[in-house]
Chain A
Amino acid sequence: MSLIRLAVLLVGDQATAEDVVQDAFLGFHRAWPRLREADKALGYLRASVVNGCRSVQRARRRTLPGRVEHDLPVWSAESAVIAEHDRREVLAAVARLPLRAREILALRYYLDLPQDEIAAILGISRGTVSSTISRALAALGRDLQEEP
């Protein structure tokens, strides 16, 4: 469930999130014989989910204009998933951030992962994680008119 929830935060709708997580588990199963350290399994799955969500976002940009491609994202004004206005406002502001920043924020503030673990999942340096969080919070602060 935590992986589906993470995917929902990244792609916006549950049906797509379930597909992404399903594919992640499938990939995990194929890679299982080559996975030497069992304690890396969760990290592998998280990385697969984040990568899968990124693929979805790219595919959506390539698809035909003028049609609804998926369920309304949880952060949209029309979505009934998040009833509270404040939460939706925050998520809508997050949705306006660059993709990489959204991934890092979800891993940091939803899964509470330390920065070095986020760096390992995304294959980037800890410094990049740190600076991206700072910039993302600054951008959110401006957008939401709040101190970062």
Chain B
Amino acid sequence: MSRLEERLRDAYRGAADAVVPATVRDLGEPAAPRPGPGRRPARWWRGLTPLAAAAAVTVIAVLAAVLPKPSSQDQQSPAPAPAAAPKFLISDASGRSPLEVRDAATGALVATVTLPTEPGSQAPAANAAADGRTYIGSVATADGYHYVVSLLRLSHCRSWLYQFQLNARGQPSAVRPFAVLPTVGAELGGLTVSGDGQMIGYTMSACTSSAPQPFYVAVTDMRTGQTKRWTTRAAGSLSLTGDGGMLYYTMNLRPGASVVRGMPTSAAPGSAADRSRTVVQGTAFGPADGVDFAGISPDGSTLYFTTYREGKFGLDFGPLRALNLATVRSRVVYVPAGQLEMVTADPAMQNFLLQIPQSGRRSLRLARLDLATGRVTDVPSGWLNPPGAILTW
């Protein structure tokens, strides 16, 4: 054997030895069987139980013969640590100021954030609820400490953005206008911030007398202040990759025409339809299924999303799925005993806050799903009344 061949074998061994059982996903995690008729089982896991029975006996014995013996280094390799759970959540239960800062584990109120009554004013003043005309559009964060909030005034056709940050005890700083983009001459809908905190993405509808009103997805680069916008027929949930390089957004036009599209933020302004590409189609899961929530992992490799369909008593929201964008395969990552009415992901896309209606939507179960372990932990939710508040991690 030549020296080159030896180097080749050694390099292969080095790369292969880095894969140890502790780092390999368990076949059964974290999906759970979903009861009820009409539910499509998780494609990824389908048939694994009989596989274990039929194939394991025959194949594993054969595999064992070719398995390299684990080295002592393998056995010492630690499993990857799960992402830290967010400490606080921001609740926008009333849609108006103040925002509530709550302990993410207990739901206990930690602090409130009062937003300006008069949009555009420098200092936060009295409770904007008394104003009666100013509403909170969206709240977004890249790290669970620095937040951006959009306020809009109905029939004013203008939105104002503010920023604040929490300290380690959840106490907010002063609320200040968002320096890069203090105001926009449109009604802002969704809002998202890239993981590096350098790019902000949003949806907005321009207020004109023409019908239909122009609708846009847009990004603003916080380093340069440059804004780009793309026209689109609709946009709902939106999410940026960690480096702000890709923007993903849901588009629900009608039953059977609901998609998630992905677009490089480097694309030239123009029509989003021309610059983006469909990565998820609701019809892949049912003839009239739509996509509700969509969030991209910071590294841009996995898109998490939920689907819904028309049910007898309203919309039936489906499981949480993950789409591997490299293999273009999706799998179910969580099936609740109920419906996922609202899903909020933390910036790392490792923890999901699930709002699961109970008893015919009369009450609500709030739960945190840790994707790394598959563990679901209930969060006290008595304060969430009525259900369906926008929560932000």
B362 within 8 A of A: no
Alpha-carbon distance between A32 and B50 when the two chains are bound, in angstroms: 11
Residue among A18, A60, A91, A109 making CB contact with B24, cutoff 8 Å: A18
Q: Which residues of A contact B10 (CB under 8 A)?
A: 87, 90
Do B12 and A110 touch across chains, with their CB atoms under 8 A apart?
A: yes
Alpha-carbon distance between A88 and B16 when the two chains are bound, in angstroms: 12
B81 within 8 A of A: no
Do B11 and A67 touch across chains, with their CB atoms under 8 A apart?
A: no
Do A56 and B327 touch across chains, with their CB atoms under 8 A apart?
A: yes
Number of interface residues of B (CB under 8 A): 53
Do B327 and A16 touch across chains, with their CB atoms under 8 A apart?
A: yes
Alpha-carbon distance between A30 and B4 when the two chains are bound, in angstroms: 41
| In the complex, per-residue mask of B239-262: 1 if CB is within 8 Å of any chain A CB, else 0 | 001010110000000000000001
Task: Please name the 10 residue pairs, one residue from A and one from B, whose CB atoms are nearest each other, closest first.
Answer: A5-B16, A90-B11, A29-B51, A110-B12, A70-B326, A87-B11, A87-B14, A67-B246, A66-B264, A81-B18
Number of A-B pairs, beta carbon distance below 8 Å: 170
Alpha-carbon distance between A26 and B300 when the two chains are bound, in angstroms: 26
Residue among B4, B13, B14, B328 making CB contact with A137, cutoff 8 Å: B4
Do B59 and A41 touch across chains, with their CB atoms under 8 A apart?
A: yes
Q: Which residues of B contact A121 (CB under 8 A)?
A: none
Alpha-carbon distance between A65 and B59 when the two chains are bound, in angstroms: 40
Task: Using known A-B contacts A19-B324, A41-B62, determine if residue A4 contacts B5 with beta carbons closer than 8 Å.
Answer: no
> Could you tell me which residues of chain A, from 3 to 29, have a CB within 8 Å of some CB in chain B?
3-6, 8-9, 11, 13-20, 22-23, 25-26, 28-29
Number of interface residues of A (CB under 8 A): 66
Q: A8-B15, A64-B277, A82-B11 are in contact. List 4 more A-B contacts (CB 8 A).
A: A11-B326, A14-B23, A68-B241, A146-B7
Task: Using known A-B contacts A56-B327, A144-B4, determine if residue A42 contacts B241 with beta carbons closer than 8 Å.
Answer: no
Nearest residue (CB) in B for A91 is: B11
B47 within 8 A of A: yes
A94 within 8 A of B: yes
A118 within 8 A of B: no
Do A64 and B50 touch across chains, with their CB atoms under 8 A apart?
A: no
